[in-house]
Amino acid sequence: MKENILITGGSGFISKWLTEALDKLSNVNIYLLCNSNKNSTIYSSNVEKVYCDITDIDNLIKVFNDVKIDFIYHFAAKSKIQKFSIENTSTFKVNIQGTWNLLELARKKSVKGFVMASSMSVYGEKNQIPYDESSLLEGSSSYSTSKICAEEIAEFYSKTYNIPIVTLRLGMIFGGGDNELSRLIPSIVYSLLNKQNIHLKSTENTTIDPLYIKDLVSALLQLLYYFKTNNIGYEIMNISSNEAITISEIANTLVSISKNEKTIISYGELNSKKKYMNNDKAISELNWKIKYSLKQSLKETYLYYQMNKYEY
């Protein structure tokens, strides 16, 4: 019998990549939850796009009233750092209330597994690096605060209603199909494809913890097996490259790949503490490994955008 998988954030690039990977399996039906029609990808008959706002609990329950759900991958979120109180309210509503609603749906459907995407941003600046899953949390923005709250609610639901839940604290995920130009790699590639100089807001020594989308998807697929073969309560795992990479290394590598050697890269003054996460737990528990080098993944990403300029 086929298993039913619900994926939220259907218009986002992580959900698109995961859906395409799951769609290649013969034993699943996929419900891709979208709040807009931005995802124009054509999938097989195993994928059904469902349009619903996750902050509307009544409609969410109604839409899936007659649907058995086995697993939920929750990626829907407001991810931009907000400056104004009304935008902060929107972040809290989607990231906290939306997660709460999905957990309530999971409770009603007695799901076999719930995967929630969190972020490295939940870790406080005072922690030693690399961060591990026991490092202290600190909400330094509306986004990170909302993610910490969502994690607390998820742990409560798991322990109170015996829902198997794995929270993934993600590094900086990148790859083809991410059309958010406020993010580092899409913005650099956009400049290169349009023969423009690169202007970055951060200092050249600012570090990030990048992970290629294909490596993330392999971990997400491993989670299905993990749920089926382990007695899961509530777990937290860092999903990252386990490396601190400077933005100058990323920018220079992409310039070399593009062969636009005359491109000028200018850096800003924003800087932050060196950050990256320890991924040992995920590697051990999920039998997961990173397959793509930074150069290989950046090359594949650049070529993807070069062939699909319309996605910007």
Name residue, tokens 């993010």.
183
DSSP string, 89-125: HHHHIIIIIHHHHHHHHHHHHT-SEEEEEEEGGGB-T
Residues 152-179 have a mean pLDDT of 97
State the span(s) of the chain assigned CATH 3.40.50.720.
Answer: 3-173+209-239
Q: What is the mean pLDDT of residues 187-193?
A: 96
Count CB atoms within 10 A of the CB of residue 118. Answer: 26
Tell me what pLDDT residue 84 has. Answer: 46
Q: What is the pLDDT of residues 200-229, one digit of tens each?
A: 999 999 999 999 999 999 999 999 999 999
Per residue in 47-94, pLDDT tens?
A: 999 999 999 999 999 999 999 999 999 999 987 654 545 568 889 999
Q: 175-208+242-272+292-311 has which CATH code? A: 3.90.25.10
pLDDT bucket at 274, cuts 50 / 70 / 90:
confident
Cα separation of 95 and 144, whole Å? 10
Choose the CATH number for 3-173+209-239 among 3.40.120.10, 3.40.50.720, 2.40.50.140, 3.30.420.10.
Answer: 3.40.50.720
pTM (2 decimals)?
0.95
d(CA 278, CA 238): 7
CA–CA distance, 184 with 198 (Å, rounded to integer)? 11
Residues of the chain with CATH 3.90.25.10: 175-208+242-272+292-311
Q: CA-to-CA distance for 125 and 273, rounded, in angstroms? A: 7
